[in-house]
A = this chain, B = another copy of it.
Amino acid sequence: MTAQRLASRTPTLAGVKRAAEKIAAILPPTPLLPLEIEGRTIWCKAESLQPIGAFKIRGAWHRLSDLSETEQASGVVAFSSGNHAQGIAWSARRLSIGATIVMPADAPVAKMEATRRLGADIVTYDRMTESREAIAARLAEERGATLVPSFDDPWIVEGQGSAALEAAAQLQGMTGKAPSQLVICCGGGGLASGCALALPDARITIVEPEGWNDFGESLRAGQIVPVAANPPPTRCDALQTLRIAPLTFDILRERGAIGVSVSEAEVAHAMRVAMTSLGLVLEAGGAVALAAMLCGKVTPDDATVITLSGRNVDPETYASMIAA
């Protein structure tokens, strides 16, 4: 079964629920932590505490565990700046599937080493001159392996959405309320679209780094627009998606999601607040939703849930951002 055939179905709420059950069988829920912002409590879904340090373990597990025995024997290929890579590598090791990951040569050392430690083969490319999609597709073709995209895949979307179902159950248990608003860190929109499917009644806001806010611009334009030429440098390596996909875009457009963007300084401030107020290490890309709340670009309501989506950052980079 090729990636094209797998991707031909539409992700569904039923699929999110099935993913959540599969994931609950192997991973304890990540904590939903309260944080007070100017007298209002918001709820932070600490996906940074997943074994691989990011929510990406969810979609990867849902996808790889649904492959047939024949497909599993032929291995998988993925491209990723690091967190999807680790999700695939972790799931592949647990299922004894061979995994090859195409990663940008400038990915954080922490992410590359962690992926290698999990037993995956790594192939690097130049983020600005080479196409990771093309390299990965060629490798998959050569090896008869299954290509597992990082967001443009119904299994991946459903798997990531399980984070929202889990958070909703936790919030219900602690406050008796359903999430009214989800504020979600966004690169290609796998997490955001999955969470939107999971909770049909919640308002959805996606958050991107300034200059990389193509998803927000696409939602405003009503059609997919790529990142503008020469985007600014960003510490949010996990969110440097140059072009999104109809699969995730259509879900979020139909839900009336809106997008906001945050500056590097706002992200660094959020990383400091996560450190001092929650005791959590966040990578820049995992802190953008918190940044949007802290700088007032999103207004908290009675039952706001945000994602703290990842923690994989080199110690030196982290030290420089929190001490600033």
Query: B-contacting residues of A (Cβ < 8 Å)?
Result: 28, 30-31, 33-34, 48-49, 51, 53, 110, 174, 272, 275-276, 278-282, 311, 315-316, 318-320, 322-323
Contact = CB atoms under 8 A, between A and B. Distances in A.
A234 B31 CA distance: 32
Contact of A49 (B31, B318, B320): B31
Contacts of A320: 319, 323
A174 to B, nearest CB: 7
A51 B34 contact: yes
B28 A110 contact: no
Contact of A315 (B49, B51, B323): B323
Contacts of A51: 34
5 contacts: A49-B278, A110-B276, A279-B281, A319-B319, A319-B320
Contact of A174 (B28, B275, B279): B28
A38 to B, nearest CB: 13
Given A319-B319, A319-B320, A322-B319, A49 B276 contact: no
A49 to B, nearest CB: 6
Contact of A318 (B275, B278, B280, B311): B275
9 closest cross-chain pairs (CB), A and B? A279-B311, A319-B323, A319-B319, A48-B279, A279-B281, A315-B322, A275-B281, A316-B323, A53-B279
Instruction: With a 10 A CB-CB cut-off, give which of A31, A34, A315, A316 has the most chain B CB atoms.
Output: A315
A87 to B, nearest CB: 15
Nearest to A110: B276
Nearest to A283: B279
A315 B319 CA distance: 8
Given A279-B282, A280-B280, 9 more contacts: A28-B31, A49-B279, A275-B318, A279-B311, A280-B281, A318-B322, A319-B322, A319-B323, A320-B323
Contact of A275 (B30, B278, B315): B315
Nearest to A278: B49
A30 B279 CA distance: 12
Contacts of A318: 275, 319, 322
